[in-house]
Structure 1
Amino acid sequence: MGPSSRHISIVVERPASEVYDFAADPLNLPQWAAGLADAEVTRVGDSWVTESPMGPVSFTFAPPNGFGVLDHDVTLPSGQVVHNPLRVIADGSRCEVVFTLRQRPETSDEEFERDADAVARDLTALKSVVETR
């Protein structure tokens, strides 16, 4: 059996466009995405760079769009690029934010569970920050 995927989601009691606009701004990442950016984010060319729990990483987001797609590619300190699907899905006056976590072949089940817990914490932080703005 190949690597598995898990969809981790949270309902946010704010309009999708508001959540998308906030989450799409890389400068806001330290406020909610500790798994990716736990320090200041700076722009370098077409990419963004920050210090992460894994060490220095760079990332690029999907171009701005009206579909709620916030996919982003993260270049790890090893040079490996990880694609992270992220969506903001409208649901009336609220939305659902869905992150698809993929287990890479070199990732143990225990590491995958830790990653899933970290993503869930990040989404909970996003919900908290956006709902209390």
Structure 2
Amino acid sequence: MLTHPVRNISVSIDCSAARVYRFVSDPRNLPQWATAFCKSVREEQGDWIISTPEGEVQIRFAAANELGVLDHVVMLAPGVEVHVPMRVITNGAGSEVLFTLFQLPSMSAAKFAEDAGLVERDLNTLKRVLEENAVA
């Protein structure tokens, strides 16, 4: 079995898992916290289109659920999809957001490290946004 190098990145947030899930599962909130990836987002005929530093991509999210699953698929080009596992779980009175980053075969070690740093930055931005704002 062929596996890829992986990095699991997480952040603790002093907000309930339900609140974090509601915020993160709404694609319209991406530009507020996923700033390394998402410059803007729009819905087009039921699809979500994200403007990224590398151009536009389509993104499809897991169906709404009570388990905290925030998985999404990023369609980079026709037939080129990247599955991104993501979860929010209860951690005491707060929550933990977990993001799994895979190093794809075409990705250099340097690019993988850079992407991991960007994910960490975005998760810390998510933490700041949710902890500083009293969004219900």
TM-score bin, normalised by smaller chain? over 0.9
Work out the number of aligned pairs and report it. Answer: 132
1:76 deviates by 1.2
TM-score, with length taken from structure 1: 0.93
**Aligned position for 1:17:** 18
Cα root mean square deviation, aligned: 1.4
User: Is contact 1:54-1:76 (8 Å) kept?
Assistant: no
Percent identity over the alignment is 43
Q: 1:78, 1:33 → 2: CA distance?
A: 23
Unaligned runs of 5+ in 2: none
Q: 2:11, 2:3 → 1: CA distance?
A: 26
Q: 1:112, 1:14 → 2: CA distance?
A: 29
Secondary structure of 1:64's counterpart equals coil
1:46 deviates by 3.3
**Aligned position for 1:109:** 109
Unaligned runs of 5+ in 1: none
**Aligned position for 2:44:** 44
User: Is contact 1:54-1:77 (8 Å) kept?
Assistant: no
Return structure 1 stretches of 4+ with deviation > 3 angstroms.
none
**Aligned position for 2:8:** 7
Indicate yes or no: 2:61 matched with 1:61. Answer: yes
1:119 deviates by 0.3
Structure 2 counterpart of 1:57, which letter?
Answer: V
TM-score, with length taken from structure 2: 0.91
User: Is contact 1:59-1:73 (8 Å) kept?
Assistant: yes
